[in-house]
């Protein structure tokens, strides 16, 4: 039975488990990017980074996690960055073979790799597929050269189209990352990007609003962006285009054909567990009586040195206080357009639903939360003001 105390959790079953691997290097740091990515430098092999060393410490990092997840099956792998496609196919194969030897990996597990559309990476797609990658997420952002230049991207619109063609030949699933609200973007320019993307009929699309994140070049030297009303118009226009083309919006920024949702990201949004290895990686692992988080050293060199000298690169390892779990759960679950079943809250947090009763009541009164008692689901108004809705569940 679920523990009725709001200060003590009790999980009757552990959630699904995934693996995230962070690759921290890229060819060029984009001016809007606040991810843990570092521009490669000349002088360290042909690639500009010590590939063999990084793969070795990744495998060692994974081994430190094995006692905490022993016997549990891993349902998905996501290799993000940075630009993981900068790895050689041989290094990718070595990494995935090491993972299979150490984890109980689901036979048809979704294995995603992020990639940029540059020609060097696309030439390697066949070999990546043979190594076991079955889903690729391409950082397209725009098909218009002027927009790509404004975003600091190093590929062209034609290279993006070529990369999509190659990816569709080799991978079971392909996602295209697109952005809107770009510098000086008009309604017509945004429409052209979506219409170009739709020509490829990929199973999945991500559609992000460009925001000025702290500690980025754009935050210090902001470009001229469309007004809030113009951004809203672009979103509504392109939402209709995507819907008419058979894409369902299943998360704030994610759209998929039927049964083509990203399994790995769904696990995040449903408050599942994930091992996180690599520079700056975060992890979340549940136990019957607690839920824990870990954070690793952020800088690649510091991360590798810590793994080599101490055998781990943790800078934080803690149990999540019970009082923080409701907000963390709702922060993720309310991003899903269909929300989650109400009983998922207790299943994933180990807490009674009563701990969020006040927030649920207030959100319903403001018409931000659906009235269906069997679902925790934002209304269209709630999705529009998602930050306000999520904040209602802060301790």
Same-domain pairing of 44 and 191: yes
* Spatial contact of 256 and 247, defined as CB atoms under 8 Å apart: yes
Asked if residues 348 and 387 have their Cβ atoms less than 8 Å apart, the reply is no
User: Inter-axis angle of helices 89-102 and 51-69, to 10 degrees?
Assistant: 20
Q: Among 81-95, 113-127, 226-240, 342-356, which stretch is predicted with the lowest mean pLDDT? A: 113-127
Residue 318 burial by Cβ neighbours in a 10 Å radius (0-12, 13-18, 19+): exposed
- d(CA 273, CA 69) in angstroms, rounded, equals 10
Same domain membership, residue 245 and residue 334: no
Residues 255 and 337 in one domain: no
* pLDDT score of 371 more than 60: yes
Q: Does residue 12 lie within any of the structural domains? A: no
Dihedral angle over CA of 193, 198, 201, 203, nearest 10: 70
Question: CB under 8 Å to 14, separation ≥6 — which residues?
Answer: 72, 273, 286, 287, 288
Residues 6+ apart with CB under 8 A from 257: 203, 204, 246, 247, 248
pLDDT the model gives residue 78? 98
What's the total number of domains in the chain?
2
Please give the Cα distance from 137 to 194 (Å, whole number): 16
Q: Is the predicted pLDDT of residue 46 greater than 70, yes or no?
A: no
Choosing from 249, 267, 285, the residue where a domain stops is 267
Q: Which domain holds residue 393?
A: 322-395
101 pLDDT more than 80: yes
Global pTM value: 0.94
Structure confidence by residue, pLDDT tens digits, 131-150: 999 999 999 999 999 999 99
Q: What's the rounded mean pLDDT across residues 167-182?
A: 96
**223, 251, 267: which is the final residue of a domain?**
267
- Distance, in Å, from the CA atom of 318 to the CA atom of 292, rounded to the nearest integer, reads 6
């Amino acid at each position: 039975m679920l523990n009725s105390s709001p200060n003590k959790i009790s999980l009757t079953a552990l959630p699904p488990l995934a693996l995230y691997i962070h690759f921290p290097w890229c060819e060029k740091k984009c001016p809007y990017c606040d991810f843990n990515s570092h521009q490669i430098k000349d002088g360290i092999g042909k690639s500009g980074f010590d590939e063999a060393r990084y793969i070795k410490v990744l495998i060692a990092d994974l081994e430190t996690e094995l006692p905490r997840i022993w016997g549990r099956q891993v349902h998905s792998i996501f290799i993000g960055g940075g630009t993981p496609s900068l790895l050689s196919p041989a290094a990718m194969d070595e990494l995935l073979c090491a993972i299979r030897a150490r984890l109980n990996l689901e036979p048809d597990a979704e294995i995603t790799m992020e990639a940029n559309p540059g020609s060097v990476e696309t030439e390697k797609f066949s070999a990546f597929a043979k190594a076991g990658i079955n889903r690729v997420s391409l950082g397209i952002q725009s098909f218009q050269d002027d927009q790509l230049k404004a975003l600091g991207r190093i590929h062209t619109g034609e290279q993006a189209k070529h990369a999509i063609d190659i990816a569709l030949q080799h991978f079971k699933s392909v996602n295209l990352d697109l952005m809107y609200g770009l510098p000086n973007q008009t309604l017509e320019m945004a429409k052209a990007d979506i219409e170009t993307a739709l020509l490829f009929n990929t199973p999945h699309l991500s559609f992000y609003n460009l925001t000025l994140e702290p500690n980025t070049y754009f935050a210090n030297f902001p470009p001229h962006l469309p007004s809030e009303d113009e951004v809203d118009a672009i979103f509504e226009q392109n939402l209709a285009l995507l819907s008419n083309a058979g894409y369902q919006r299943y998360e704030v920024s994610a759209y998929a054909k039927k049964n083509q949702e990203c399994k790995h990201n769904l696990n995040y949004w449903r408050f599942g567990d994930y091992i996180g290895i690599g520079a700056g990686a975060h992890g979340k692992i549940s136990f019957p009586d607690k839920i824990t988080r870990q954070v690793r050293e952020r800088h690649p060199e510091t991360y590798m040195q810590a793994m080599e000298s101490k055998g781990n690169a943790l800078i934080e390892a803690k149990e999540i206080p019970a009082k923080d779990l409701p907000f963390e759960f709702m922060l993720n679950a309310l991003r899903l357009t269909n929300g989650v079943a109400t009983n998922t809250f207790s299943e994933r947090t180990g807490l009674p639903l009563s701990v969020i009763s006040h927030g649920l009541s207030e959100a319903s009164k403001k018409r931000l939360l659906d009235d269906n008692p069997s679902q925790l689901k934002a209304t269209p108004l709630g999705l529009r003001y998602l930050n306000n809705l999520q904040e209602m569940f802060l301790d």
